[in-house]
Amino acid sequence: MNDAPLDPLTALRPWEAPEVTSWGRLPMNAVDRRSGAVPLDGDWRFQLLPAPDAPLGEVWSSSYVPGVWTMQGTPDLPQYLNIRMPFAEFPPGVPAASPTGVYERSVDVPAEWAGRRIVLQVGAAESVLMVHVDGRPVGISKDSHLAAEFDLTGLVRPGERATVRLTVVKWSDASHIEDQDQWWHGGITRSVLLYAVDRLHLADVTVRARRDGDLLVECRVRDAGGALPRGWYVSGELDGHLLTQDTEFDRSNAEDERVSDFLGEARLRAAVPDVRTWNAETPELYGLTVRLHRADGTVADTSRHRVGFRDVEIAGRDLLVNGERVFIRGVNRHDFHPLTGRTVTRDDMRADLVLLKRFGFNAIRTAHYPNDPALYDLADELGFYVVDEADIESHDHAHEIADDPRYLGAFVDRVARMVLRDKNHPSVIVWSLGNESDYGANHDAAAGWVRRHDPTRPVQYEGAAKRGWADPDLASDIACPMYAPLEECLAHALSGTQTKPLVQCEYSHAMGNSNGTLADHWAAIEATPGLQGGFIWEFWDHGILQRVNDGRPAGRGGAGLYGNGVAAPGHRWAYGGDFGETDHDGAFIADGVVFPDRTPKPVMFEHREIAAPVRIDSFRHEGVVLSNHQHFRGLEWLSGEWELSLADGDTLTAPAELPALRPGETAAVPLPFVVPEEGGEAWLTLRVTTAGDEPWAPRGTVVCLPQVRLRAALPPAHTRVPDGTVEVDEDGLLVHPLLTAAPTLSLWRAPTDNDALGGMADRWRDWGLEAPVREVVSVRRSPGRVAVVSDYRCAGGTVRHEQVITAMDGGLIVDESAELPEVLHDVARVGTVFETVAGLDLLEWFGQGPWESYPDRAAGAPVGHHRLPVDELFTPYLRPQESGGRHGVRRFTLSAPDATGLAVRLDRARQVSVTRHRAADLAAVAHPDELVPRAGCVVHIDAAHRGLGTASCGPDTFASYLVSAGVHRWSWTLRVL
Ligand code: IPT
């Protein structure tokens, strides 16, 4: 035991005192001190204690800062829980055992800092930070996602070495309001630095820049010595143009007008002529430098900002940016990385945003806490509308905490500090008071603070808005529901009672193979005044790269990222339960539109098309009608190429001349091809790419692929005159040299996460659809033809299946029907499954592609000729499930390198999948690395396939995408190549 006197910070037990939001922590401000600072990132001496009041040991290891210890080889591993707290204590209580990291390092304080004010900045620490310097207590802070600053001026000596100790306590009263749906970690997640400023310094700078060119810069000035010296003034420079102090408002800098000896306020004003306004499409920024001068004109302090001139307002039920009702094509984004857990670099964030831009997103909700500061710089620069969300989620104890006055300070503090930090970013258009915390007086207090401090932006809070979308309340200017059914949104917009813009803060849950009906949502949003968009849940699949042999996180040095969504050999993407946690929420953490290595999932291509800036409205004989669907930009940044795909022919291309269209305009352009008489079904695609380099995409990057059908397919004219032989075995199963399993009826798919969490999978299992017992009723043979009737018996009933196989044209025609009894009113699929010999490794098809698509997620895959190796057709969702499907397939071939193989032609466009896995193989495992690929192909041809929906969290697919009971008929031909 260590008998040292109890440290005063520890003695306060701040980890179970919600009233203590901080002690010794400096006010938040928007002056960026990163440049010129001494970075303290790197390896720190480290000890992990079992509790915050446990004595320090003798032995130090090391830990990398910024980083979480849960990913750096300690016994305390990541744990994933969504709503439930990881411990039973009621707020503000915490368990006595609470992993506590003690970080220590020496710091050489530069000698030239003598006489200056010296500040320590800890970028973020979760969940309680206690700071000591040379053994003396400095301060405390909470809020795991905002920086904390401490004044070290009197505590360190320039030119000497100091020891900084950061003690980070994992569980605290604050954990109860940081109960976001993500991994629990512990550590220091953002950079630590030390900087110095003049004693006379800019305490804060607030920039307001309007779309009419009006610029207002408000500066707060302080002197560390106390009273301000006389005669100071500020000046500014906007892209080289000097701004001078507004003499109407130079309080406290001139002797006669001094209102306070301690707080200086000064204002710069300018009217910028012909201003280039900021919006997410053309994010024009101006460089602003603010200088604080001493009376003799020398510069005491400088602050640099990037200014975007723009207005945000709500007019009636419209959210307007620069007067335009912009669509919010958003996504929810966490700070996440598969190797570090939470720590992200500027390059990581840039890669996130670049990818989002390339796939048509224009908005981010910083779910559910202020993201890394660099994210906002990048959003300003690349063009995103940001809903900036405070670090408040009390999901498990929401009702108790929302009105608990002990948490009042924390609510206001977290919201206010976020606003003070981010107020100068043009990208931030809305403040959010947090997530999933019920609604109480603590929210109204926070909303009141924001409204007084920043009247230039709306406030939103889902917990308030859900009481009634049109209700007046202090905490939400926007009706921002989560996962509201489309019909409810439509009914509200059409009701005549709508009072606020309707922008869903979360919708279209991207867990596993999901995001069905996204295109239907957008068709409704674009057609319905009052609906303005929403934020898909969410950007990342939060799979942590884990070594399979020892179950540890791979950590910072982990290999194998940025590939094709698959974890490196010997690794897997861990989700809840994979670190041995008994309490966890499984794969619910894998619900993003990108894999953990940022590989886009198929839904991204769907989204890109839904967000297309230029579209083909229609085709008439006189030409193709194009329209510009942007809010601010013309088409000059795009170039195009026409493609004409003939089902029974080739793909022809021709250069496209895009018309000069302003936003909202349409124009007809002549059809670039004479469509050949032959060739069957014909599709015209406009391949739209960037004409030059964009900050987020090099020239030639695909932006969208709008399409129109020029000619429909002729119905197949089979005469059914047999001209060969059909061989079936005694069970009436087809015998064919290229098939290892004969075509049989399939009614089931490996449950998607939506199927599982939406209850469909259980129902299908109760019905026994997974493995019905096939009983042959009759086999009738006639020359060149066999007709087989069989019953597929399962607990849910009997499905009568008929298969008539006719030898014709050197191949086989298979006509099938299945009759589902009424009770089987919603099944996964009705269709054929067969398996091929090994070696047929290339799929070529005419239909939708090349990306995976399903009946209710098929807007982003253009119809055309596609080819992919069979191994690339499968999508490696983190929990294996139905995947790899292609919608709208008319015909396909499966071939070996020597061009031998089989060809299939379908009676009409249908859902097809070709993978190495049976549905039962997929359903039997928990991670893709456990799958053993079969040598041949498992081929499904579906007469009907159920839509995907989003029922893992939100509405199921629409009735029109369900597979119903009754008779289904389909036919296909099989030929040997
Ligand atoms: C909603 C949460 O806000 C989000 O953090 C995430 O958990 C999402 O759902 C599902 O993945 S809360 C849900 C109970 C509606």
Strands 707-711, 702-704: parallel, antiparallel or unpaired by DSSP?
A: unpaired
Query: Residue 231: which region, alpha, beta or left (left: phi > 0; alpha: psi -120 to 50)?
Result: left
One-letter-per-residue 3-state SS of 857-903? ECCCCCEEEEEEEHHHCCCCCCCCCCCCEEEEEEEEEEECCCCCEEE
The atom number, within ligand 1, closest to the CA of 505 reads 3
Cis peptide before 8 (omega within 30 of 0): no
Q: Does any ligand 1 atom lie closer than 6 A to the CB of residue 506?
A: yes
Q: Does any ligand 1 atom lie closer than 6 A to the CB of residue 181?
A: yes
Token digits of residue 415: 């919201």
Which run of H or of E encompasses 757?
helix 753-757
Determine contact, residues 976/836, Cβ cutoff 8 Å.
no
The atom number, within ligand 1, closest to the CA of 538 reads 11
Phi, psi of 22 (to 5 degrees): -170, 165
CA of residue 603 to ligand 1 center, whole Å? 19
Determine contact, residues 479/489, Cβ cutoff 8 Å.
no
Q: Mean pLDDT for the chain?
A: 95
538: Cβ contacts below 8 Å, ≥ 6 apart: 331, 332, 333, 334, 367, 506, 510, 591, 592, 593
CA of residue 181 to ligand 1 center, whole Å? 7
Q: Does any ligand 1 atom lie closer than 6 A to the CB of residue 537?
A: yes
How crowded is residue 693: how many other Cβ atoms within 10 Å of its Cβ?
A: 11
The pLDDT, as a whole number, for residue 255 is: 56
CA of residue 852 to ligand 1 center, whole Å? 26
240: Cβ contacts below 8 Å, ≥ 6 apart: none
Angle at the Cα of 674 (from 668 to 677), degrees rounded to 5?
130
The pLDDT, as a whole number, for residue 398 is: 96
CA of residue 588 to ligand 1 center, whole Å? 9
- Per residue in 681-726, pLDDT tens? 999 999 999 999 999 999 999 999 999 999 998 876 666 788 899 9
CA of residue 930 to ligand 1 center, whole Å? 29
Determine contact, residues 650/643, Cβ cutoff 8 Å.
no
Residue 268 has pLDDT above 90, yes or no: yes
Determine contact, residues 140/129, Cβ cutoff 8 Å.
yes
Residue 846 has pLDDT above 70, yes or no: yes
Q: Position 709: which residue type?
A: R
Best residue for ligand 1 mutational test, from 81, 184, 394, 436 (most atoms within 8 Å of Cβ): 436
Region of poorest pLDDT, from 87-96, 317-326, 556-565, 816-825: 556-565
Residue 2 has pLDDT above 60, yes or no: no
- Per residue in 411-467, pLDDT tens? 999 999 999 999 999 999 999 999 999 999 999 999 999 999 999 999 999 999 999
Q: Does any ligand 1 atom lie closer than 6 A to the CB of residue 435?
A: yes
The atom number, within ligand 1, closest to the CA of 511 reads 11
Nearest Cα residue to atom 10 of ligand 1? 953
Q: Position 812: which residue type?
A: L
How crowded is residue 304: how many other Cβ atoms within 10 Å of its Cβ?
A: 13
Q: In 648-772, where do the E strands start and end?
A: 651-656, 666-669, 682-690, 702-704, 707-711, 739-746
Region of poorest pLDDT, from 270-279, 351-360, 362-371, 563-572: 563-572
One-letter-per-residue 3-state SS of 426-478? CCEEEEECCCCCCCCHHHHHHHHHHHHHCCCCCEECHHHHCCCCCCCCCCCCC
- Tokens 């940081």 belong to 178
DSSP-derived letter for residue 185 is -
DSSP-derived letter for residue 695 is T
Segment 251-270 mean pLDDT: 74
Token digits of residue 30: 């928007």
Share of the chain above pLDDT 90, in %: 92
Nearest Cα residue to atom 9 of ligand 1? 953
Nearest Cα residue to atom 7 of ligand 1? 181
Distance between CA atoms of 944 and 951, rounded to whole angstroms? 20
Determine contact, residues 626/614, Cβ cutoff 8 Å.
yes
Q: Does any ligand 1 atom lie closer than 6 A to the CB of residue 507?
A: no
Distance between CA atoms of 270 and 242, rounded to whole angstroms? 9
Segment 764-778 mean pLDDT: 98
Burial of 723 (0-12, 13-18, 19+ CB in 10 A): exposed
The pLDDT, as a whole number, for residue 621 is: 76
Distance between CA atoms of 795 and 974, rounded to whole angstroms? 33
Phi, psi of 409 (to 5 degrees): -60, -40
Q: Give helix then strand counts, H and E, for the chain.
A: 13, 53
Q: Does any ligand 1 atom lie closer than 6 A to the CB of residue 82?
A: yes
Query: Residue 672: which region, alpha, beta or left (left: phi > 0; alpha: psi -120 to 50)?
Result: alpha
Best residue for ligand 1 mutational test, from 482, 593, 753 (most atoms within 8 Å of Cβ): 482
- Per residue in 862-898, pLDDT tens? 999 999 999 999 999 999 999 999 999 999 999 999 9
- Report the residue count for the chain: 977
Best residue for ligand 1 mutational test, from 435, 506, 950 (most atoms within 8 Å of Cβ): 506
DSSP 375-429: HHHHHHHHT-EEEEE-S-B-GGGHHHHHT-GGGHHHHHHHHHHHHHHHTT-TTEE
| SS3 call for 212 | coil
Q: Does any ligand 1 atom lie closer than 6 A to the CB of residue 854?
A: no
Token digits of residue 776: 């042959």
DSSP 300-336: EEEEEEEE----EEEETTEEEETTEE--EEEEE----
Distance between CA atoms of 449 and 416, rounded to whole angstroms? 7
The pLDDT, as a whole number, for residue 262 is: 87
The pLDDT, as a whole number, for residue 753 is: 98
Q: Nearest-CA neighbor of 384 among 535, 280, 498, 255?
A: 280
How much is the pTM? 0.97
Residue 314 has pLDDT above 70, yes or no: yes
- Dihedral, CA atoms, 510, 516, 522, 524, nearest 10 degrees? -130
Indicate the angle between helix axes 373-382 and 346-358, nearest 10 degrees. 40
Which run of H or of E encompasses 788?
strand 785-794
One-letter-per-residue 3-state SS of 76-126? CCCEEECCCCCCCCCCCCCCCCCCEEEEEEEEECCHHHCCCEEEEEEEEEE
Q: Does any ligand 1 atom lie closer than 6 A to the CB of residue 683?
A: no
DSSP-derived letter for residue 5 is P
CA of residue 374 to ligand 1 center, whole Å? 25
Q: How far, rounded to the nearest angstrom, does the alpha carbon of residue 653 sit from its chain's CA centroid? A: 35
Q: Does any ligand 1 atom lie closer than 6 A to the CB of residue 882?
A: no
- Per residue in 949-975, pLDDT tens? 999 999 999 999 999 999 999 999 999
- Per residue in 600-625, pLDDT tens? 999 999 999 999 999 999 888 778 99
DSSP-derived letter for residue 661 is -
CA of residue 371 to ligand 1 center, whole Å? 18
The pLDDT, as a whole number, for residue 718 is: 62
C-alpha distances in Å from residue 727, one per residue of 483, 732, 781, 782, 976: 52, 9, 10, 11, 15
The pLDDT, as a whole number, for residue 720 is: 75
- Per residue in 144-167, pLDDT tens? 999 999 999 999 999 999 999 999
Strands 682-690, 739-746: parallel, antiparallel or unpaired by DSSP?
A: unpaired
Phi, psi of 86 (to 5 degrees): -80, 5
| SS3 call for 297 | coil
Residue 114 has pLDDT above 80, yes or no: yes
DSSP-derived letter for residue 916 is S
